[in-house]
Structure 1
Amino acid sequence: MSTDCIVHVVQGAVKGQQKVSSVFSKKKFYAFQGIPYAKPPVGLLRFKDPQQCESWSGVRDALSEPEICPQKHIILREVLGNEDCLYLNVYTPQLPNEASTLKAVMVWIHGGGFSFGSGNTDLHGPDYLMEQDVVLVTLNYRVGAFGFLSLENNDVPGNAGLKDQLMALRWVQQNIARFGGDPNNVTLFGESAGGASVHYHLLSPLSKGLFKRAIIQSASCTNQWALLSNAKERTFRLGEILGLQTENPGELLKFLQQVPSLDIVNSQFKTLTSVDKRNTLAFPFVPSIEVPGTGHNFLTIHPKTALRQGHFAHIPIMIGVTSKEGMVLLNDIPHTTEYFKVLDSNFERIVPLNIGLPNDSMERAVEKLKHLYFGDKSISWETLTHYIDFFGDILFYLGVNETVKAHAKLSKAPLYCYEFTYEGNLGMLKNVLKMKYPEGIDLSGVAHADDLGYIFKQNIPGLPTLEPGSEDEKVITRVTKMWTEFAKTGNPNAPGLGVKWESVSRNKLCYLEIGKSMKMVNGLPHSKRVEFWEKLLNPALKEKL
């Protein structure tokens, strides 16, 4: 391997390798995988805020992907990973020389409910984005209890996983120019929990100045599942499940730091109560509001308060959803005819208690909601698409639309909204659901995370492959051009799109529908149902129902 693949970062030298894209133009690019950006969070550093990465001597190989952080793998359903997992990957079409111009940088935050996932190429292959002449950074951050356990004190203030991401962004500022990337032109983007993370970075003073633009896919930090209100209580509950009952935070921390990581992964979901599950808190350890003055605080006020008061970075934003986000529930919970019968008889059980419906009119509100989604029909396979819409609204659309309106009202920076409606062959979740459920079930629409197959090359055996010249290929080209044009200029209107993507303003809500063709639509995605919810949740608007 030539010395051209050796890059000297602040911490030491790393050796990468030249690769060739497996799609489109077979473009050559450089890959540097498994570069440490923080000290391994092991031993007494477990649960703690990340520490600066130590330097090394000689040349460190960056030739293979790092191990993922400890988790139950979303596909294999096995507990995998290593706590020494704070590494990132850099993919660049060109290493710098005297004649080269630094390129726009896109830093990807993976999803996974803050409980699983990684930046690796099984789901996030760089091939498509390399065609668009940007530098891509993907990374691992601590998930589950390792990343989001909190004692609400100086020892463990919480949100270590978000602070891992922050540390990676600081590493990018220090080092990305050495890979041909422009540290002054960084776009932070992510999907699901990664999208919520991007939104949290927009709110956090600690992230100020570390990125210039943001893309939020299928999430908002105002979604119910993205914020934990009883983090300290849950930490003590985890200790009890693992064998220690104490009221002493120091004793609990010492105990938990000695428990095998496998036991923590297997026990953390047992901390979820029946109330948690009804409140759509599907993941036990997620971001929380930190107690001010406990270390370097990432988040000390409620996200909705920050939005309402305009305490967020006023930078260009793209934000959007897929057409059937709620389909993710079919993967998380096995659905049967009997299950639907139970839900139909007890519809109130799937209306979250913490969503904000007034207690004095809860029964009437539940009746109205059931009629809105199902009319006079029962919850069944026949009404599956309405069931999916119900959970799509609760889990995603309510929060995303609220976020769009808040930013449009107070920010002067451009804001672009979209809905991804193209149903192709590269949606991973849709393909998984087709294998899980019998033929004839209505799985129309674009499931949660299925847009990722048109941004990243996914390398999972058994999934459909990209056919040259196919409609899928055309959509990939179109989407990656818009995403990267936004990263380069702050405006997603790349040449040749055939439609002008208009920005949202306080006085004009609109979005781009990204389907087989593209068109602008007035309003926001699923606005009719979302507005019904907003009137239910706002007593001042109840008389309009």
Structure 2
Amino acid sequence: METVKVITSKGELQGKKVSSKVGGVFYSFQGIPYAKPPVGPLRFKPPEPPEPWTGVRDASKEEAVTSHFVLSLFQPPEPPEPWTGPPEPPEPWTGVRDASKEGAVTPHIVIDLFQPPEPPEPWTGVRDASKEGAISPQIHMILQSYSGEEDCLFLNVYTPQWPVSRLKPVMVWIHGGGFETGSGFLNLDGSDVSANNGLRDQVMALTWVNKNISKFGGDPDNVTIFGESAGGASVHYLLLAPSAKGLFHKAIAQSGSALIPICHLSSSVSTQRAFRLGQALGCETKDPQHLADFLRTVPAEKIVLAHRKGLSKEERQHLMTIPFSTTEEFGSDAFIPGDPVKLMKEGRFHKVPFITGVTSAEGKLALSDVFRSIDLSKIEKNFHNVVPYNMRHKLGTQRCKEIAEKLRKFYFENKPLTEETLEEFVAMQSDLIFNHGFYKTVTLQVERSNSPIYTYEYDHKKPAQLDMYPTGPEHIPGSCHAEELFFMFRNVYLSTDYEPDSADDRVRTYIIKFWTNFAKTGVLTSSVSRPRIYSGEEFVDLIANRRHIGPLYLPHARQKPRDAPPPGLCLHVPPIGILVPF
């Protein structure tokens, strides 16, 4: 293994030279600490900068990851691997730190140690950065097995050039996972637990990038953040966060928005869930600080395995409910200083070039193998309770029943929910969970920003080699949530090697070209298409050939299954008022 060394603000790292599967070469530095380990008294607290180290730290392997951020220097011959965790600027170290290994991921949802991240301690010597770090304590969403470590605030850097000749654009990937896998969002009003630590970690990581990425050949003044699902919502939250100002210059939010109803909890609801979690773990108390102290003594694995017990019996009836998510905050140190909709209406967000979009059948996720325990007859029987949850209305009220009937009439033409009406169910779930929040984000941002805004819809038939990926019934048309990721990154479980010049290979080329060209210039250009910026009347058409990435036509809501528009046609449809009244 050929190794390379770099000196960062905290110490020296040793990475490695890697050959890509397409015949190129890149340089990998993994498991780099960007914050102190969120353990002991730092559990559930904001991140702090890491301590410096002495000597050389091995960065040739991955360490544990929390939020699975991937710091991808521009034009890596092969897509980078993501990483995750709650951050604060690291402390300097002495000597060369080995950066040939990666770190680990943060504890699942509730385990961000309840504190904002702190900078890491410095080290002495050379740190091995040839391996990845540990992932945070979590349950794998597909394998359903527990893994991870609390010491997981690490990131990976991949660069196509060594030694550094000129600075290149930087792309920082924020992974998804429903704010459950690889992130931490416990909130407990009246205690020393800080809310939204998973987001604070991201700012800590971006702070590390700002201070150190030039040592790897990256331009700290040309950083693009991009993410999918909860990662896409995180990108949008960072657009709203004052503490993230100046740390990035472009943004891409895939299938995620801060305005998605299930992504944002009131402080009272999140606190109630924390107390239910405490009760499930054996702590009967009404004192929030006592509960916080108790939770710091509980092994991370127990918290992860019990975290869904924070939901009430009523809340557990709903599909895809996130027990602990981003939370409203108050006070001068609030990460998001107000309601996201209000902030957008007032123009209080970072006005940078922005790409955002969805897949053509996001709601198929609700019918995927992961959620296939869904009982359609039970949903049909409790239709008036299950659906309105996504609209923040109190269950069981007359208003809920009225809205449920409107939804049934609009999507199902008053037909019952059965196997025969699954396509209508998918359309409704797509709108309720993803599309309306996306649409609202775009319309509000266009009103208050002069920066370029591009929208897209991803619609490409999944290749047979990805059939193991649970994307719901195949007879329902459209691309499921997260399907585009198989054309952006390699996968450790499924083959993403596509036949040269096949439709799949071209889709991968198009996506990577669009995203990387945007990261370079802030303008969405490619040799395969000339997209138009949203004008208020129509959305941009990313790729005119609908077999690859089609034009955007939203919302999905319709009374009959829609026909695909002609290639290149972009339609602007008014929002549906009954969905999520803001």
The interval holding the TM-score normalised by the smaller chain is 0.7 to 0.9
Counterparts in 2 of 1:46-125, with a 5 A limit? 46-57=43-54, 58-97=125-164, 100-117=165-182
The 3-state SS of whatever aligns with 1:64 is strand
Q: In structure 1, list runs of 5 or more residues that go unmatched.
A: 118-142, 541-545
Name the structure 1 match of 2:113.
none
- Displacement of 1:247: 2.1
- Is the 8 Å Cα contact of residues 44 and 194 (structure 2) preserved in structure 1? no
Aligned partners of 1:167 and 1:539: how far apart in 2? 34
Q: Among 384, 398, 409, which residue is 1:371 paired with? A: 409
Q: Among 42, 47, 64, which residue is 1:45 paired with? A: 42
Distance 1:42 1:241, change over 3 A: same
Aligned partners of 2:484 and 2:465: how far apart in 1? 7
Higher helix share: 1
- Displacement of 1:333: 2.3
Greater RCO (Cα-Cα under 8 Å, separation 6 or more): 1
Name the structure 2 match of 1:127.
none
Name the structure 2 match of 1:346.
382
Name the structure 2 match of 1:505.
535
Name the structure 2 match of 1:298.
335
Q: Does 1:213 align with 2:250?
A: yes
The 3-state SS of whatever aligns with 2:193 is coil
Counterparts in 2 of 1:161-176, with a 5 A limit? 161-176=198-213
Question: Any idea what the Cα deviations from partners look like across 1:332-364, whole Å, max 9, x if unmatched?
Answer: 42257xx22333333223312451579655434
Amino acid at match of 1:253: A
Amino acid at match of 1:312: F
The 3-state SS of whatever aligns with 1:406 is helix
Name the structure 1 match of 2:302.
263
Counterparts in 2 of 1:280-299, with a 5 A limit? 282-293=321-332, 296-299=333-336
Counterparts in 2 of 1:12-411, with a 5 A limit? 12-23=11-22, 26-57=23-54, 58-97=125-164, 100-117=165-182, 143=183, 147-153=184-190, 155-229=192-266, 230-277=269-316, 282-293=321-332, 296-331=333-368, 332-335=370-373, 339-353=375-389, 355=391, 361-411=399-449
Amino acid at match of 2:138: Q
The 3-state SS of whatever aligns with 1:343 is helix
- Displacement of 1:300: 2.8
Aligned partners of 1:407 and 1:257: how far apart in 2? 40
Aligned partners of 1:480 and 1:426: how far apart in 2? 21
- Displacement of 1:237: 1.8
Aligned partners of 1:426 and 1:194: how far apart in 2? 27
TM-score, reference length from structure 2? 0.80
- Is the 8 Å Cα contact of residues 510 and 524 (structure 1) preserved in structure 2? no
Distance 1:154 1:316, change over 3 A: farther
The 3-state SS of whatever aligns with 1:211 is coil
- Is the 8 Å Cα contact of residues 79 and 262 (structure 1) preserved in structure 2? yes
The 3-state SS of whatever aligns with 1:407 is helix
Name the structure 1 match of 2:62.
none
The 3-state SS of whatever aligns with 1:209 is coil
The 3-state SS of whatever aligns with 2:504 is helix
The 3-state SS of whatever aligns with 1:62 is strand
- Displacement of 1:408: 0.8
Aligned partners of 1:70 and 1:54: how far apart in 2? 22
Question: Any idea what the Cα deviations from partners look like across 1:371-420, whole Å, max 9, x if unmatched?
Answer: 22222533222221111111111110010000010001111100000000
- Is the 8 Å Cα contact of residues 330 and 337 (structure 2) preserved in structure 1? yes
- Displacement of 1:63: 0.8
The 3-state SS of whatever aligns with 1:483 is helix
- Displacement of 1:216: 0.3
The 3-state SS of whatever aligns with 1:112 is coil
Distance 1:522 1:9, change over 3 A: closer
Bigger shift: residues 309-318 or 234-243: 234-243
The 3-state SS of whatever aligns with 2:136 is coil
Amino acid at match of 2:157: V
- Is the 8 Å Cα contact of residues 431 and 463 (structure 1) preserved in structure 2? no
Q: In structure 2, list runs of 5 or more residues that go unmatched.
A: 55-124, 560-571
Distance 1:153 1:214, change over 3 A: farther
- Displacement of 1:272: 1.2
Bigger shift: residues 205-214 or 355-364: 355-364
Aligned partners of 1:239 and 1:326: how far apart in 2? 32
The 3-state SS of whatever aligns with 1:50 is coil
TM-score, reference length from structure 1? 0.85
- Is the 8 Å Cα contact of residues 426 and 454 (structure 1) preserved in structure 2? no
- Displacement of 1:154: 6.7
Name the structure 1 match of 2:81.
none
Name the structure 2 match of 1:121.
none
Q: Percent identity?
A: 41
Name the structure 2 match of 1:10.
9
Aligned partners of 1:356 and 1:254: how far apart in 2? 31
Name the structure 1 match of 2:112.
none
- Displacement of 1:527: 6.7
Name the structure 1 match of 2:453.
415
- Is the 8 Å Cα contact of residues 430 and 556 (structure 2) preserved in structure 1? no
Q: Does 1:446 align with 2:445?
A: no
